[in-house]
Amino acid sequence: MAGVGNLDQAGRGGSRLLTATGERQRGYQARPGECVGVAAACELGAAPLDPPFGLADGDVGTANEAFGAVPDVVASIADRSKNRVVEYSCLIPGAVPILKRLFKQGSRIAEMSRLGERAIVLGASMGGLLAARVLADFFRTVTVIERDELPDDPVNRRGVPQGRHVHALLARGAQILDEFFPGLLDELVAAGAPVWDDGELSKLYASYSGHVILRSGTIAGDPERMAMYMPSRPLLECHLRRRLQAIENVTIHSGQDVAELTSTADHSRVTGVRVVNHAGGAEQELTADLVVDAMGRGAHTPAFLESLGYGRPVEDHIVMHTTYASQPLRIPPGTLKEMLVLISPAPGRPTGMFLVGYEHDTWIFTVYGMVGHEPPRDLAGMLSFAEEYAPAHLLAAVRTGEPIGPVVQHRMPSSQWRRYDKMRRLPDGLLACGDAICSFNPIYGQGMSVAGLDAVALRDCLRRGVTDLPRRYFRAAAKAISVAWQTGATSDLAFPEVEGRRTPSMRVTNRLVNSVLTASESDAVVGTQFFKVTGLIDPPTRLLHPWFLYRVATVNLGRRQRHSPPQQAAVVGPVDGDSVLPEMLSE
C-alpha cells in the first residue's frame, strides 16, 4: 500500500499500531502541539519522533514524503482542530526492518494485529465498560449486551441498585480510568464531580478501627498521584458509556436479555451468545471469538461451565451480612469543610457511616452495620444510629440538609470470590470480570477500582495473544484481586461473628495495622503510606519496609512517652526474661 486515497480507505486491511509515544492512535486524544500520525509503532517507553517524522494538521504522509524513499509505509491523518487522531496507521511488514533503525536502541516495533473479528461483553457494568474499552484495541468489533434500557443522562437504573449508595473512586481506579479514557477525569470535574487533589487533610474525616487519621497539614508526597474523584455512580457510568460509544468499532445494545451461551460440539470453545429483545421477544444468536461475562454476582458463567462438563469454580466467602441505608441530601455550600467522611467499624462496634459530597451540592449519608446490626430506614433513625461514633458537627450538617429522595437500603450477605484461577480446565473464548469474579464488602469501596485492575490484566494478557488466554487472564486477575480481598477479609474477620477462613497471619496483620493507624493519628508520612495501600497504589508489603516500621515505632514510642507519667527505670535481669524494646519493635 503506497498511499492513502481518502479517509474511507485509510487504515483498512492494515495492522493496528501504537503511536511513537506508545499510545493507540484509535481514539487517542492528541495534546496541544503534539506531533501525531507517525506511521510507525514502538513499545511503550520509546522516545517520540521529532519532525519530519511527525505530520502536520490534515497531512497525508506516504513513505516517500515522511521518510524519504522508504517503501510501503502509510502515515495517518492528524486533526488537531478536533483534538483527535482521525485514522489508523498501516504498516506493511516489509517496512519493519527499516523502521526499527529509526528508533532508539532498546525499543522495538509493536505490530498489533487484530486478534479476532468480534468480542461480546455481557453487561454494561463498570467492569463491562472497561473490558469493552480494552477489547476495542484487539478485535474488529465489540458488542456490549445490557439488560437495562440505558439512559442518555446520569440517572440511576434498576440493574445497579447499589448506584443509589455511596461510591468512591480509589486513587488507583482513577489512574486506570485516565489511562483508558484520557481526559475523562477532567470531564467529570467539569460536570461538577468534586476531587480531592490538593492533599489537604482537613478536607477528609477518616476514622479506621477507632483511629482518626491526622486532620491538619497535607499528605506527604505528590497529592495528584493520590487524588480521589467523587462522581456519583450514575454520572461516572454515563460519561464512560458516552466515551465508549464514540469508539467506532464498539456498539452497545440495551434492553437485551442473555438467554444462553453457545459452544462448539466438543465444548472446547465458547462461540457466542443467544439474546432476547425485551421489546418484541425476538431471539438472536451472536457469534464471537471471545465472550466476557460482566453481569455481576448473578453471572451465568458458573452454571454454563457446569453444563459443559467443566464444573463450577470453588468459591471463597466471608459472611458478614452487611446492611446499609442511604439518604440523598442537598447540603448548603460551605456547611462542611470535609469533602468525604469515612468511619469504619471498630473493635466491639460493627457499624459505621459515610458522608460524601457529589456533583451539584448533593451528598449521600450512609449508615451501615454488619452481623445483625441493621440500621433504620428513616433519616431520624439513621442519625440516632450514628450518634455513638460520629462527631456532632457532621450530624448537624446532615440535619441541615434537604432530602432529595427516599432512604434506600441494600444488603450484601457476603464477600464472594469465584476462583476461576484454580480451575483445572476452562473452555477457550470465555472470560469474566468485575463482580462476576469477585464482589467485596462495599464498606471498603474497592469494587470499581478492582474492575479497573481486571481490565489492566485483560489488556496485558491480550498483548501476548489468545493462546491459553482464560488460564493466563484469571491467574493475572487473581493477583490484583487477592490484595483487595485480603485487606477486607482481615478487617471483617476481626469480628468473631463473621464467618470465613482465618489464617495465622491475620492476627499479626491486625496488630501491625493497629500500630500503623495509631501512628497515623499524628504523623502525615505514616498516614500517607496507609492511604497509598488502601487506595491500591502501593502493595501492603510497603507497610513492612524497615524504614516504615522504624518510623511507626518511633512515632508511637514518642506518643506513649508524652502521654505517660514518669516512671523509674527498671533493670532487666535473667529473672525478668522480657525485652525492653518498644512494643512495636518486639511485635
Give yes or no: residues 205 and 341 share one domain. yes
Kindly indicate the confidence band of residue 163, based on its pLDDT and cuts at 50, 70 and 90: confident
- Does residue 578 sit within a domain? no
Give yes or no: residues 131 and 171 share one domain. yes
Last residue of a domain, which of 390, 413, 436?
Answer: 413
359 secondary structure, DSSP code: G
Percent over 90 (pLDDT), the chain: 67
Q: What is the pLDDT of residues 306-343, one digit of tens each?
A: 999 999 999 999 999 999 999 999 999 999 999 999 99
The number of folded domains in the chain is: 4
3-state secondary structure of 353: strand
CA of 125: how far to CAs of 163, 234, 237, 433, in Å?
A: 11, 11, 8, 10
State how far the Cα of 166 lies from the Cα of 187, in Å rounded to an integer.
20
Kindly indicate the confidence band of residue 532, based on its pLDDT and cuts at 50, 70 and 90: very high
For the chain, the first-to-last Cα distance in angstroms comes to 68
Is the pLDDT score of 62 beyond 70? no
Last residue of a domain, which of 429, 455, 485?
Answer: 485
Q: In degrees, to the nearest 5, what angle opens at C-alpha 160 toward C-alphas 159 and 163?
A: 155
Is the pLDDT score of 4 beyond 70? no
What's the gap between Cα 380 and its chain centre? 34
3-state secondary structure of 284: strand
CA of 314: how far to CAs of 99, 285, 310, in Å?
A: 49, 30, 12
Percent over 70 (pLDDT), the chain: 77
Stretch (H or E) spanning 563: helix 546-563
- Does residue 393 sit within a domain? yes
CA of 308: how far to CAs of 301, 311, 501, in Å?
A: 11, 8, 30
Q: What is the pLDDT of residues 185-231, one digit of tens each?
A: 999 999 999 999 999 999 999 999 999 999 999 999 899 999 999 99
- Does residue 368 sit within a domain? yes
Q: Whole domain around residue 541: which residue ranges?
A: 504-563
Give yes or no: residues 156 and 255 share one domain. yes
- Does residue 337 sit within a domain? yes
Give yes or no: residues 311 and 338 share one domain. no
Give yes or no: residues 281 and 167 share one domain. yes
Give yes or no: residues 394 and 447 share one domain. no
Q: What is the predicted pLDDT for the residue at 181?
A: 96
Q: What is the predicted pLDDT for the residue at 48?
A: 35
Kindly indicate the confidence band of residue 55, based on its pLDDT and cuts at 50, 70 and 90: very low
Q: What is the predicted pLDDT for the residue at 213?
A: 96
- Does residue 80 sit within a domain? yes
- Does residue 277 sit within a domain? yes
The answer to which of 63-72, 226-235, 550-559 has the lowest mean pLDDT is 63-72
Q: What is the pLDDT of residues 485-512, one digit of tens each?
A: 998 998 999 999 999 988 888 888 889 9
The answer to which of 93-107, 387-401, 426-440, 470-484 has the lowest mean pLDDT is 93-107
432 secondary structure, DSSP code: E
Q: What is the CATH classification number for the domain harbouring 143?
A: 3.50.50.60
Mean pLDDT of the chain: 80
For the chain, the C-alpha Rg in angstroms (whole number) is 27
Give yes or no: residues 4 and 71 share one domain. yes
Give yes or no: residues 421 and 370 share one domain. no
Cell of 372: 445483625
3-state secondary structure of 457: helix
Kindly indicate the confidence band of residue 92, based on its pLDDT and cuts at 50, 70 and 90: very low
The C-alpha cell 455511596 sits at 166
Give yes or no: residues 144 and 237 share one domain. yes
What φ, ψ does residue 330 adopt, rounded to 5°? Answer: -120, 110
Q: What is the predicted pLDDT for the residue at 41?
A: 33
Contact, 246 vs 136, CB < 8 A?
no
Q: What is the pLDDT of residues 235-255, one digit of tens each?
A: 999 999 999 999 999 999 999
266 burial via Cβ count (<10 Å: 0-12, 13-18, 19+): exposed
Q: What is the predicted pLDDT for the residue at 104?
A: 36
Q: What is the predicted pLDDT for the residue at 353?
A: 97
Strands 116-122 and 290-293: parallel
What's the gap between Cα 66 and its chain centre? 40
User: Once rounded to an integer, what is the mean pLDDT over residues 110-117?
Assistant: 66
Q: Which residues contact 504 (CB under 8 A, 6 or more apart)?
A: none
Give yes or no: residues 305 and 179 share one domain. yes
Strands, E assignment, 388-480: 402-403, 408-418, 430-432, 438-439
Q: What is the predicted pLDDT for the residue at 566?
A: 54
- Does residue 379 sit within a domain? yes
User: Once rounded to an integer, what is the mean pLDDT over residues 78-87?
Assistant: 33
What φ, ψ does residue 258 adopt, rounded to 5°? Answer: -85, 115
User: Once rounded to an integer, what is the mean pLDDT over residues 141-165?
Assistant: 86
User: Once rounded to an integer, what is the mean pLDDT over residues 28-52?
Assistant: 34
Kindly indicate the confidence band of residue 113, based on its pLDDT and cuts at 50, 70 and 90: low
pLDDT, greater one: 279 or 461 = 461
Is the pLDDT score of 50 beyond 60? no
- Please report, as a single letter, which amino acid is at residue 219: I
Q: What is the predicted pLDDT for the residue at 154?
A: 85
Q: What is the pLDDT of residues 456-477, one digit of tens each?
A: 999 999 999 999 999 999 999 9
Kindly indicate the confidence band of residue 158, based on its pLDDT and cuts at 50, 70 and 90: confident
Q: What is the CATH classification number for the domain harbouring 388?
A: 3.30.9
Q: What is the predicted pLDDT for the residue at 110?
A: 35
Give yes or no: residues 109 and 177 share one domain. no
3-state secondary structure of 505: helix
The answer to which of 63-67, 130-134, 567-571 has the lowest mean pLDDT is 63-67
Q: Which residues contact 263 (CB under 8 A, 6 or more apart)?
A: 269, 270, 271, 308, 427
Cell of 45: 517507553
User: Once rounded to an integer, what is the mean pLDDT over residues 392-410?
Assistant: 95
Give yes or no: residues 259 and 272 share one domain. yes
User: Once rounded to an integer, what is the mean pLDDT over residues 166-172?
Assistant: 90
- Does residue 460 sit within a domain? yes
447-462 helix and 126-135 helix, angle to the nearest 10 degrees: 20
Is the pLDDT score of 83 beyond 60? no
Rounded to 10 degrees, the C-alpha dihedral 150/151/155/157 comes to: -30
